[in-house]
Amino acid sequence: MNGFDLRGRRYLVTGVTNVDSIAWHVAAALQRQGADLVLSSFGRAARIARKAAARLPEPADVIELDITDEDDVADAVRELERRWGTLDGVLHSIAHAPPDAVGGHFLDTPADSAAKGFQVSAYSLQRLAAGLAPLLARSEHGGSVVGITVDSTRTLPGYDWMGVFKASLDAVARYLALYLGPRGIRVNLIASGPLETLSAQGVGTFEALAEHYERWAPLGWDRTRHDQVVGSVLFLLSDLSACTTGQVLHADGGVHAIAGGIGEPPQRS
Ligand SMILES: NC(=O)c1ccc[n+]([C@@H]2O[C@H](COP(=O)([O-])OP(=O)(O)OC[C@H]3O[C@@H](n4cnc5c(N)ncnc54)[C@H](O)[C@@H]3O)[C@@H](O)[C@H]2O)c1
């Protein structure tokens, strides 16, 4: 086992919009460990994503991938097949909720908004993992699929249907672990605390949420420090996690473990 020496490993990193994207920080860390990368971006953000890719430690190619477009998924698989013929891992860092599915509209959200959010934010993990499974199965280190979720066991005011999509994502990951495990492919999620990104700006209660984490996390939390989750993502993408699958690993300063809001917040020295 080579641990975090990822020289020669090959990864697809989805969900890069700009240098604030969690995926961008994961990409930079993977490169620092020696890994080769292809990034993917989506729609109008592709141009900005190329600029962000140019700011990585090493330049990386960006392919366009709308996860709801079967042709795009097939093209991405073909491109990686042509380029490498194998894949050691993929980061799924993709989510979208229509505006009427978040922000307190829970009781009125129409079916098509709920369905669209589910497709992009949860079902997409199945499309990505199933499409890439033949390449991931050829990894000599065991292929790894990693996604980013939140603590979906509790409600977060304003997060609404996104909370439902994330609970679905957790279940999709477990079923993928069941069906892809026999091919040597692991599927795990990181439940991240709140980080300042473009997507986070779409959550009206983000400020209150981030404040709660920063106040109550036993280990502390800082909404501007993406490195708080990156190490856990790398662990799951590397073969240090060779026998771990179907797992949700919390990278949240410990907030999931406590009932914050009672008594005094932790006093850190
Ligand atoms: N920022 C946070 O506080 C936080 C906390 C927990 C989990 N997450 C999750 O982390 C992941 C990354 O989000 P982020 O915060 O880095 O924000 P971000 O806006 O940088 O990334 C979200 C990505 O989803 C992509 N996307 C949306 N629709 C797509 C589609 N149809 N096809 C392909 N890609 C599509 C966007 O292009 C974007 O790159 C998401 O799953 C998000 O829910 C974020």
Q: What is the pLDDT of residues 208-231, one digit of tens each?
A: 999 999 999 999 999 999 999 999
Round to whole Å and give the CA distance between 96 and 198: 11
pLDDT of residue 246: 98
The β-bridge partners of 90 are 12, 145
b/e map of 254-266 (b: 16 or more CB within 10 Å)? Answer: bbbeeebeeeeee
Q: CA nearest 42: which of 34, 32, 50?
A: 50
Low-confidence ranges of the chain (pLDDT < 50): 1-3
pLDDT of residue 260: 81
Query: If you measure from the C-alpha of residue 90 to the centroid of ligand 1, how many angstroms do you get, rounded to a whole number?
Result: 14
Task: Give the tens place of pLDDT for each residue, 67-86.
Answer: 999 999 999 999 999 999 99
Query: If you measure from the C-alpha of residue 267 to the centroid of ligand 1, how many angstroms do you get, rounded to a whole number?
Result: 32
Which three-class secondary structure state does DSSP give residue 49? Answer: helix
Round to whole Å and give the CA distance between 5 and 33: 6
Phi-psi region of 183 (alpha: psi -120 to 50; beta: other; left: phi over 0): alpha
Which of 18, 20, 22 for a ligand 1 pocket mutation test, highest count of atoms within 8 Å of Cβ? 22
Which of 94, 164, 222, 225 for a ligand 1 pocket mutation test, highest count of atoms within 8 Å of Cβ? 94
pLDDT of residue 1: 43
Q: Which atom of ligand 1 is nearest to the CA of 199?
A: 19
For 252, how many CA atoms within 13 A lie in the half-sphere containing its CB?
Answer: 26
Which three-class secondary structure state does DSSP give residue 204? Answer: coil
Contact 51, 23 (CB under 8 A): no
Residue nearest to atom 38 of ligand 1 (CA): 15
Angle at 93 between CA 129 and CA 187, to 5 degrees: 40
Q: CA nearest 189: which of 262, 134, 121, 263?
A: 121
